[in-house]
Structure 1
């Protein structure tokens, strides 16, 4: 089930997922909560949107600082996941960049693919802004646009829109200076260039070279206007990972942003127990399986030994940055904001569940069981674990039923519950704060008796389909919890994940059986 209450009133991107976890649709929003809620409040959807709402079983989101950042991220996520409901964006085009070619007399052009040499600036999220900047830079510095230089002057030269390198009107050195200034502007160094041009203009005026001084004056005026309107995404030649975290109640909530060539493409989140060297342990484990980026942006410095480890894995030195201000600090803060909103929005679900079930403590670790079979064959059990309100897939477990013949969900539940918790007791591992059984009173009773046999006093409930009724041991009637309340929606979310995981394993066994 989709919990709308955890969504913030902030800009960002949202991803609808099906029961398999596959991304169905990626959208951007100025206000995530309002936008996503609108899908479930309206009744007169068009056929495509109605189909999407019916198929959606899960929701993920990434908070951004602005709606423009959300637009860029949306485009990147669509290209990554190719959701089937984003049909209007399946043309594989990217936002256009401004390209300064790599030639004797470089030309300026618009490009969507970076297949040639030279300098690329963008992508621009606004076609109007892109075209405005392109025209200002082209006209201000009189750069050529022709693919092949003609042997005689064209109309652009006669209207002073091109400096005429084709007819030898400007030397290669002079043209190169114009290109350098254009590149400087497109990199965002407008103020520095304006100050330099103002100095040159004053010197020319002092020498009474008024015509050249007036040319610089016009350039300065155009650049000052451009400075107010420019809106371009900074391009980088390397990848970055941005990592931030919050430690609360002896638990680490960590967010990792993957930034490729200046564009935020993905986020990964983790929850684990706090330890003195938790950051070092995480980095070693993560980058043992994933290639380190060119630059790692962190909230605190690393020991030299850990930097050497990263360099060893990468094959060259990894730059470790602890920013105090500027754009990188903003990215670090954005990751922190996503930690706060993403994880502690989940904490509200835990608190609601604790209150409704009258639990002695916050159910930080929840385990849920489900049984799946096809007409009594390939019967399997699944167990999913939620930690801190989020799926902890590292601790998912699946069981092939061994002691039950035919269709007997009660006995199957009893078997997997016994196998799970007898193993935890034997190994001395932690027990969950809450156990959820997919089913009604019968499945709950079978699981509860197995816990009693093991002398365990772990809180346990079950959730029955159709009316989404929640049962506890000892009570004949379900608890008075409405199925659209936050606590019930959270239990439904966990149950749906266990159901998905069980069905996936059941299909796998059936495929193996057919192949055999």
Structure 2
């Protein structure tokens, strides 16, 4: 009966823009979504095959659908965001932030005070912000204080009370930080002009203040008031220095919001920059946990609506990396070059740095979360049936067919497990035959693991292209392990990843964590194999050169190598030099051996 009811609800949905709400059998809100066409969007949940496990779980739990029709898609966006924040449904991503951000307040009063506050009081006062850093607010307030003397007292400076001599100037007046409006020593018009200049500075516009100070400096200089001129000059330098530090792009770019996103398997990282006269007056990055494998577009649209509401943004234009639908009265720009592209790239860089910092923090605070995220990412990137918690990588080492060896390195949860590394002497292959050697070591490795009933890896990597991959696959076939172990090959030059039966390689993003783990595996296998190969070559070289000399034993060989460092040097030194180390009798035998080789 419930299913029939649900089916009827879907069929009778309007085709208008709106918001839909999914409820479970206990009438608990599961999910809130927006749609340009309610019927089309909701129907897609029940008619499509979803790859996402979480979406399938959501659909199974839906027992009731409610909707709200609105005039435009923009209204739907705003309503969706408000409902998510209010009800916090289980399957919706949420931008939650309990911080109370600081603002700069210009108080609505005669001779207005300018100060930092975290409380917005709707009394007609002006509030600039919020700022994501208290340090930024203090820097701005220090700058303002150095440029314009303002009162800091909380007196009611009505003209009536000033006329009645209610107040006396305080220490701030004697220090030169205030001009004493409490005793009518400062003109209200001048104070109001200063406040207007402060408004412009907070907005990032320094032009008016600089021009005003330059005019004052010139006037003082013409009157031969050089000390006052110098004081104004210092203010100009302070303001120019602050402007130079804060301006990052063309000052013509003003009143613009910039949004960018970097994401992985489980999280999205959204950076928000606010620009005024080419200066960044706000930067904020937030992390969103994915619930239903949302796309970057969906996450960014949600973040833009939420962040603009939270920070009370009034700009009419935003820069984004791709087209988004966030409002009809908002100009959407996707920069391709120039200053606009430069600032978007800066936003993307901020999102990447934030992600990297979060990874570092997670590794320390919650290493399991980092490992789980990495394993989930590798499963997705490499198209694996399960997470590669146990990976093994093989590499062959031989030089001109001599002393062929192979190495197998083991990674558990993305990290080397060195005690499980194994090295192999090639037994059944003559000369330099990488394909046959790979087949031999893969066969030997997994025959042994199978016989000893040891756990098999979820992923095997062979260092090489299609040829080595085919050899490794042949070994797995002989053992009946095809399908039980995923095997791939990585070609060295272009980091091409090959799969059995697929001639077209997979290319991972060069900055992908999955690729970095694979490269680490390959490099470890190469290092481990080369070390073993060198040891074997060195031993073989010693055997042929020194241990074959009649009457020369192992102890003598060690003494010679300790002193002369190499076989080559031993072959070149005089008989006298040899005798000083091992005595005349043995020196004669070694010297005569190498003398006969030279003749």
Which structure has more relative contact order (CA 8 Å, sep 6+)? It is: 1
Q: TM-score, normalised by structure 1?
A: 0.37
Q: TM-score, normalised by structure 2?
A: 0.32
